[in-house]
């Protein structure tokens, strides 16, 4: 058995189909089981019945016998153990599917070959498949050729389009699915239409691409989904130990979650422990957060851009969220401790200032009681002084979650719960427009 493993949209099915077309003639029987995951899901019944139905479909195709009946899962072995077969099982996502279709190589005759494509490396290892081929992203030249094949199917790309074509390949980060979908979308369009399409692509994920990539996200459990979103919005390009330190107290099994994301080809971890996520997957994660934000009317996990953060701080919108910046570096424990002290002392200082204002007002009232001025003659604008707003903000400050974020090259100290920014000097000084609210 051989496994073909890689992220969604990288071309695993295309590779398997090319191999199948090239060598299938050398076998007595052959079958290409396209999208096993979808077929298995369509059987709305218990596991054993679903496995039997999947095997019945498999035997009907490989034996060219429609509507054949099977009584048990050993039927495949009984019918094929003396035949040299080529079996391709495409897009497998559950171990039960492999047990129903190819539990063991002894099910088939000598010289048989079974090829399994999946985005879950752990699934292949659990089934004892030692020969795993990881599909790599194409080079820049290869990506440009793939895109040009769909965007200019009849002729080589015109010279004036080359710069735009190169920009598209960069936007897709060389993912073959993206190259194919965008190539078809731009085929036959003018340069001005290309420019318009590129602007839209930068702002939002193409729907066809999203429908494929979202499958990988939906296959995760809730806690691993949370880690995926944190990486997409904050931690791509950061070290593993830093992410584990940051999320370690959030009730998430970060080590296990990272292992799952690697096995599902949703992230990769370089030799220097840096986490890498594909650009389109990052965009998918951020758009999931955006839709969540709109659905819950600002009660969300992340908000993008300073405009939303300004509204949260000024208008006291309750979000249950945490402030952070898209480009973060984790502060040291020393910095975190310093920022905690700043926040705590800031509360005390604000209370002293407020109490001092109260005493001053009372003093002025008695001092001017018999004079020309009275408290009633004071302009109402006095009660809109920033000190009153400070009191109002502090009275609503209820820390619920501690988060340690620092922003490279920034001076801000942003606060909801205990959110610290490394290198901070003043509260609210030069807020960056790139902040995320987590």
Torsion angle of C-alpha atoms 357, 361, 367, 368, degrees rounded to 10 = 140
pLDDT at res. 358:
62
Least confident of 258-267, 336-345, 351-360, 429-438: 429-438
**Contact predicate 86/30, CB 8 Å:** yes
Question: d(Cα 4, Cα 118) in Å, to the nearest integer?
Answer: 6
pLDDT at res. 122:
93
Identify which of 23-32, 250-259, 264-273 has the greatest average pLDDT: 23-32
Six token digits for residue 399: 């820390």
CB count within 10 Å of CB 236 equals 20
Span 222-249, average pLDDT: 88
On the question of pLDDT at 196 being above 50, the answer is: yes
Span 104-129, average pLDDT: 94
Residue 31: φ, ψ to 5°: -155, 140
pLDDT at res. 92:
94
**Residue 127: pLDDT band with limits 50, 70, 90:** very high
**Contact predicate 328/405, CB 8 Å:** yes
**Higher pLDDT residue, 424 or 366?**
366
Least confident of 5-14, 16-25, 381-390, 410-419: 410-419
**Higher pLDDT residue, 399 or 359?**
359
Taking CA atoms, 11 is separated from 6, 118, 344, in Å, by 8, 11, 54
Q: To the nearest whole number, what is the mean pLDDT of the chain?
A: 76
**Residue 311: pLDDT band with limits 50, 70, 90:** low
pLDDT at res. 382:
46
Q: Which residue, among 90, 88, 99, 105, has the nearest Cα to 52 in the 3D structure?
A: 99
**Contact predicate 321/302, CB 8 Å:** yes
Span 359-375, average pLDDT: 56
Six token digits for residue 426: 């003043």
**Higher pLDDT residue, 297 or 233?**
233
On the question of pLDDT at 239 being above 50, the answer is: yes
pLDDT at res. 328:
38
**Residue 434: pLDDT band with limits 50, 70, 90:** very low
pLDDT at res. 159:
87
Span 224-232, average pLDDT: 91
On the question of pLDDT at 423 being above 50, the answer is: no
Torsion angle of C-alpha atoms 78, 84, 88, 93, degrees rounded to 10 = 40
> Position of tokens 């990506």?
143
pLDDT at res. 294:
56
Span 169-177, average pLDDT: 90
**Higher pLDDT residue, 210 or 347?**
210
Least confident of 36-50, 317-331, 334-348: 317-331
Least confident of 81-85, 238-242, 304-308: 304-308
- The answer to whether the pTM exceeds 0.75 is no
Span 264-268, average pLDDT: 90
Six token digits for residue 396: 């609503």
- What residues does 104 pair with on adjacent strands? none
pLDDT at res. 180:
92
On the question of pLDDT at 248 being above 90, the answer is: no
Span 259-284, average pLDDT: 90
pLDDT at res. 361:
63
pLDDT at res. 344:
54
pLDDT, tens digit, for every residue of 31-43? Answer: 999 999 888 876 6
Determine what percent of the chain is predicted with pLDDT higher than 70: 66
pLDDT at res. 421:
40
pLDDT at res. 45:
66
pLDDT at res. 176:
93
Span 113-141, average pLDDT: 94
Q: What is the largest CA-CA distance in the chain?
A: 113
Least confident of 88-102, 312-326, 380-394, 401-415: 401-415
């Amino acid at each position: 058995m051989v496994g073909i493993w890689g992220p969604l949209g990288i071309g695993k099915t295309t590779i398997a189909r090319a191999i199948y077309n090239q060598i299938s003639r050398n076998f007595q029987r052959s079958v290409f089981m396209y999208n096993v995951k979808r077929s298995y899901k369509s059987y709305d019944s218990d596991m054993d019945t679903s496995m039997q139905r999947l095997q019945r479909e498999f035997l009907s195709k490989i034996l060219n016998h429609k509507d054949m009946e099977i009584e048990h899962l050993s039927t495949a072995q009984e019918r094929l153990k003396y035949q040299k077969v080529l079996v391709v099982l495409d897009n497998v996502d559950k171990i039960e599917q492999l047990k129903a279709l190819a539990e063991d190589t002894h099910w088939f005759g000598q010289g048989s070959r079974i090829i399994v494509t999946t985005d879950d490396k752990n699934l292949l290892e659990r089934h004892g498949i030692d020969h795993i081929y990881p599909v790599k992203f194409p080079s820049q030249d290869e990506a440009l050729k793939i895109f040009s094949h769909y965007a200019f199917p009849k002729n080589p790309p015109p010279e004036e389009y080359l710069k735009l074509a190169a920009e598209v390949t960069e936007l897709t980060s060389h993912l073959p699915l993206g190259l194919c979908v965008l190539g078809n979308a731009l085929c036959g369009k003018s340069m001005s239409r290309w420019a318009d399409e590129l602007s839209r692509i930068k702002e939002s994920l193409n729907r066809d691409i999203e429908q494929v990539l979202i499958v990988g996200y939906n296959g995760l459990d809730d806690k691993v989904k949370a880690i995926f979103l944190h990486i997409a919005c904050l931690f791509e390009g950061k070290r593993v130990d830093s992410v584990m330190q940051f999320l370690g107290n959030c009730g998430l099994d970060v080590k296990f979650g990272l292992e799952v994301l690697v096995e599902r080809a949703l992230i990769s971890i370089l030799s220097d422990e840096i986490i890498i996520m594909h650009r389109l997957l990052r965009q998918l994660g951020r758009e999931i957060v955006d839709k969540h934000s709109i659905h819950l009317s600002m009660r969300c996990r992340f908000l993008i851009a300073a405009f939303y953060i300004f509204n949260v701080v000024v208008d006291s919108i309750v979000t249950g969220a945490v402030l952070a910046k898209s480009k973060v570096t984790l502060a040291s424990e020393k910095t975190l401790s310093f920022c905690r002290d700043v926040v705590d002392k800031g509360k005390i200082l604000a209370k002293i200032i407020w109490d001092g204002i109260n005493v001053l007002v009372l003093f002025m009232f008695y001092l001017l009681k018999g004079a020309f001025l009275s408290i009633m003659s004071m302009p109402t604008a006095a009660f809109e002084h920033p000190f009153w707003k400070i009191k109002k903000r502090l009275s609503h400050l209820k820390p619920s979650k501690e988060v340690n974020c620092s922003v490279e090259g920034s001076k801000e100290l942003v606060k909801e719960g205990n959110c610290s920014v490394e290198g901070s000097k003043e509260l609210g000084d030069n807020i960056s427009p790139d902040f995320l609210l987590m």
